[in-house]
Amino acid sequence: MSKIAFVFPGQGTQYIGMGKDLYENNSVAKEEFDKIFDKLDFDLKNIMFNGPEEDLKDTKNTQPAIVSLSLVLAKLVMDRGVVPSYVAGHSVGEYTAYGVAKVLSFEDTVKLTAARGKFMNEVSKKVNGGMAAILGLAPSKIHEILETVDGIVEAVNFNEPNQTVIAGENKAIEDACIALKEAGAKRALPLAVSGPFHSSLMKEAGERLKNELDNYDFKTTDVKVVSNTEAKVLESVEAIKDEIYYQSFGPVKWVDTVLKLKNLGVNKIYEIGPGKVLTGLIKKIDKEIEIKNIEKLDDLLNL
């Protein structure tokens, strides 16, 4: 039997005004947003709706903003009778998946996401690191080349067959970009990010996050989360906590995650949240999967 999955975007999809039309024109959305905003110790509503862009781009604000909008949109989709069998998210989008699967309440999901963003922001300032997108070179070849580069540089985001993101120390990233282009990469593009996310340099953030998890009540439900780091179904609270820990300094295996969803019988995926990044990636991973994007009020009205 065919199944539906929801997937949720990660950092980089944010924009000023995200969610404002929902908040002002849908009473259920307003109620859900207000419950989320009231649980936080900073003014996320103002940052999301009004900016400035510099504040919204700050990791500690970006991550809860994206997750908040994605959670509210997902609730509105489910209220219309579309319910997923599986959920997954790209990087911080995985936190939205936990909220939609009712592993945590929406409010606690965003609170935990805010803690993650804060820890990652603080650790990023301590390490001299960044990220770069490598286009047109197979992951196996990228691994091979990176082993020849001095310093810490790792393949961390396997976004689609021809796009892999590397992260690590800035000097190592620069050297790796040169070496990878010499090895046949079509492009090696440094990314405008504040740190080497998903690399081993972020392990301190993972340790701090691990301690934070004791403050939350986790559950498992019928809606299952497919993990980033191993592209497997998380069946227990212990497995979920392990994923949260390892994912903060481990890889995003997005290609494997999408293929796992297909192997589980998923033939229709809803990308729910800001932007259409995942829709583009999924089309390059498997053209047979039907994809629908839900980002604004009009998308819900046309559902």
Shared domain check, 86 and 38: yes
Shared domain check, 121 and 134: no
Residue 198 annotated to the active site: yes
Q: Return all residues near 15 (Cβ < 8 A) that are at least 6 apart.
A: 56, 274, 275
pLDDT in tens, 257-266: 999 999 999 9
Q: Which of 90, 194, 198, 227 is catalytic?
A: 198
The answer to whether the CB of 130 falls within 8 A of the CB of 167 is yes
pLDDT band per the 50, 70, 90 thresholds, residue 194: confident
The pLDDT assigned to 67 comes to 98
Give me the CATH number covering residue 184: 3.30.70.250
| Residue 200 DSSP symbol | G
Q: Is the pLDDT of residue 301 over 90?
A: no
Shared domain check, 16 and 115: yes
**Domain residue limits at 14:** 3-125+200-301
pLDDT in tens, 4-62: 999 999 999 999 999 999 999 999 999 999 999 999 999 999 999 999 999 999 999 99
Shared domain check, 102 and 214: yes
The pLDDT assigned to 303 comes to 83
Shared domain check, 112 and 38: yes
**Type of residue numbered 151:** G
In a domain, 102, yes or no: yes
pLDDT in tens, 205-248: 999 999 999 999 999 999 999 999 999 999 999 999 999 999 99
Shared domain check, 233 and 97: yes
pLDDT in tens, 113-135: 999 999 999 999 999 899 999 99
Shared domain check, 36 and 177: no
pLDDT in tens, 141-159: 999 999 999 999 999 999 9
Give me the CATH number covering residue 94: 3.40.366.10
User: What's this model's pTM, rounded to 2 decimal places?
Assistant: 0.96
The answer to whether the CB of 172 falls within 8 A of the CB of 156 is no
Query: At which of 150, 169, 190 does a domain end?
Result: 190
Shared domain check, 120 and 249: yes
Containing 98, the helix (H) or strand (E) segment is helix 93-100
**279 exposure class (CB count in 10 Å sphere: 0-12, 13-18, 19+):** middle
Shared domain check, 79 and 23: yes
3-state secondary structure of 139: helix
Shared domain check, 215 and 118: yes
How far apart CA 251 and CA 158 sit, in angstroms, is 8
Q: Which of 68, 91, 124, 227 is catalytic?
A: 91
Shared domain check, 56 and 165: no
In a domain, 30, yes or no: yes
Residue 105 annotated to the active site: no
In a domain, 195, yes or no: no
Strand ranges across the sheet with 224-226: 233-234, 224-226, 86-89, 3-8, 266-272, 290-294
Q: Is the pLDDT of residue 1 over 70?
A: no
Q: How many domains does the chain have?
A: 2
Strand ranges across the sheet with 129-135: 153-160, 163-169, 129-135, 187-190
With vertex at residue 24, the alpha carbon angle to CA 22 and CA 26, rounded to the nearest 5 degrees, is 55
pLDDT in tens, 259-292: 999 999 999 999 999 999 999 999 999 999 999 9
The pLDDT assigned to 232 comes to 98
Shared domain check, 144 and 117: no
Residue with tokens 């810490």, as numbered in its chain = 152
Nearest Cα neighbor of 46 from 54, 56, 32 is 56
The answer to whether the CB of 286 falls within 8 A of the CB of 258 is yes
Query: At which of 139, 161, 190 does a domain end?
Result: 190
CA distances from 11 to 7, 34, 74, 176 (A): 14, 22, 18, 23
In a domain, 27, yes or no: yes
